[in-house]
Amino acid sequence: MTETRTMVRTEVSINGRSFFLAQGSEAEDLRGRIEAAVNSPGTFVTFTVVGNREVSVLITHSSQVVFTVETVQFDERDTGDSEFPFGGLYDY
């Protein structure tokens, strides 16, 4: 019997829009960059999401951010390398 491989996935919800961080992304670093951005008039924070794609969000003092962590089935494509994206409109 083959054991199911798992990995930890972090979900970041910003103003009600959810993003799943790519493997290798440092959630603590992202939290720190978001906290720093809150103290500015508004700063874009960039991070890599599942699908190895980059996302930039404008963070202000009124942004609502929630981090959630869960264990999910392992996905070998989820490397965090934006040079090799997967999923989306063109991957049929």
Q: What is the pLDDT of residue 85?
A: 79
Indicate the length of the chain as a whole number: 92
CA distance 89 to 91: 6
The chain-wide mean pLDDT, for the chain, equals 88
**Other C-beta atoms within 10 Å of 30: how many?**
19
Domain assignments of the chain as residue spans, ordered by start = 6-73
Residue 31 host element (H or E): helix 27-38
**33-50 pLDDT, tens digit each:** 999 999 999 999 999 998
Tell me the pLDDT band of 17, cut-offs 50, 70 and 90.
very high
